[in-house]
Structure 1
Amino acid sequence: MFPFRQTVLVVDDDQAIRNLVCIYLEKEGYEVVEASNGEAAKQVYLHHHPCLIILDLQLPKVSGETFCQWLRQDEKSEVAIIIISNRTSVEDKITALRMGADDYVTKPFEPLELMAHVDAVLRRTGQFCQKIAHEGLCIMPRKGEVQLYNRQLHLTNYEFNLLYYFMQNPDIVLSREQLVMQIHPNTEHTVMDRTIDAHIKKLREKIEDELGNPKRIKTVRGIGYKFVKPVR
């Protein structure tokens, strides 16, 4: 089974700080993505659906405050936010918390201290992080939801179960028989085998940018299908 890994987005214009934080997060088993400015952070967020964002306030192009406010405009956004900043006044901390941050850590900080804050925040919000995300497509099995670039998709139960199975097994060729077993475990395979293609077609209509040139679910002639995990 594909393991659930919590993804953390680190946003800071200081490369040294990003490298340091990423090293410690990866040691703790998190999947880490990063951005050097607020504009890039928006794109990374939409593509990777992180559970937590570690966010500097003083960023080029789009400030940390603006990015935070952009995130909180979406009432469905449950991503946790930890601010890291060299602003140390009580007023700055209060402002950040009121605009939607979950925690505030002042610079300079000890990496282990920051990891403790990460663990504490995710203990409170981790129930929202049971998800698998690949290149803007995100499935949340506990909530029964699928999003594509932060837009809610409406899938049938069959489509949802197929997509979940595909995303649990990226880059693995799955036969039609295997796929039938996932959505119709108690049905004659010879009867239902032919309907898999119809389910796949409907699923592709909802998750592919170009139906004539699918990038996510590839047909493997004579065998079945494969969910392609994009290479970063």
Structure 2
Amino acid sequence: MVVNVQNKSILVVEDDAKIRKLIKIFLEKEGYEVIEAGDGEEGKRLFKEHDPCFAILDLMLPEIQGEELCKWIREDEKSDIGIILVTAKTSENDRISGLKTGADDYVTKPFSPTELVTRVETVLRRTSNRCQKLSRNGLTLKPQKGEVTYKGNPVELTAFEFRILQLLMTHPGQVISRQQILDSLYELHEKVVSERTIDVHIRHLRQKLQEGTCLNFIETVRGMGYKFNG
């Protein structure tokens, strides 16, 4: 299984099945994975389930309106993924209202699917760092958020442990020496850390991962260092 460092999934929440299918066709042509929802409640559920990199939300939705869904993503989920609102409303007040909920862009119907894809790519150029994550066998690390989860459940780590895990997951199967780990921590904390301290942090990190996952993700390579398995 390859480590995924860039999530290209896009959640499309649109109650008009024809428009939703058209958006999906054009996005998939550009290599995006499309997750479809026909109403706001389904959009919420799929957002939690798939953790997409981007969302395209129709404003006028059954169950939950697009603006409310956008606000939920920003405030309740504390997600800063790229969001485009799509609507038939064309007034300036409507656009301002939509953008104030946290959307990155606003597209009015009828629209060109090619233009929509271009707008998605434009927003992603500004927000692509929000989508970065390392994921392997259910263990997911999000560098920008400082979060680690296993199958959706949080794994609480210290700053040292998080940085070590990020380094190891970035180079799966590759032996990372204690000195390499020490150098990484030194840049973060601007103080000298002994190799013995590295071993202590690794032991604590391994214990936390095994408690939460029952898997041994970190292997000790005697005389050389550590490597990430998954």
Structure 2, unaligned runs of 5 or more: 182-201, 218-227
Q: State the partner residue of 2:59.
A: 57
How far does residue 144 in structure 1 lie from its aligned partner after superposition? 7.1
Q: State the partner residue of 1:108.
A: 110
Q: State the partner residue of 2:29.
A: 27
SS in 1 for 2:19: helix
Q: State the partner residue of 1:203.
A: 209
* Amino acid of the structure 1 residue aligned with 2:60: Q
Counterpart Cα distance in 2 of 1:14 and 1:35: 10
Q: State the partner residue of 2:147.
A: 146
Structure 1, unaligned runs of 5 or more: 188-195, 220-224, 228-232
* Amino acid of the structure 2 residue aligned with 1:64: G
Alignment of 1:54-203 (within 5 A): 54-74=56-76, 76-132=78-134, 138-141=140-143, 143=144, 145-148=146-149, 149=152, 153-155=156-158, 157=160, 161-162=164-165, 181-182=175-176, 184=178, 199-203=205-209
Counterpart Cα distance in 1 of 2:83 and 2:180: 44
Q: State the partner residue of 1:7.
A: 9
Aligned pairs, how many?
201
Q: What TM-score results when the alignment is normalised by the length of structure 1?
A: 0.67
How far does residue 153 in structure 1 lie from its aligned partner after superposition? 3.8
- Aligned Cα RMSD in Å? 3.8
Counterpart Cα distance in 1 of 2:10 and 2:43: 12
Structure 1 pair 45–198 and aligned structure 2 pair: CA distance change class (3 A): same
Structure 1 pair 119–75 and aligned structure 2 pair: CA distance change class (3 A): same
Counterpart Cα distance in 1 of 2:32 and 2:76: 25
Q: What TM-score results when the alignment is normalised by the length of structure 2?
A: 0.67
Structure 1 pair 150–109 and aligned structure 2 pair: CA distance change class (3 A): farther
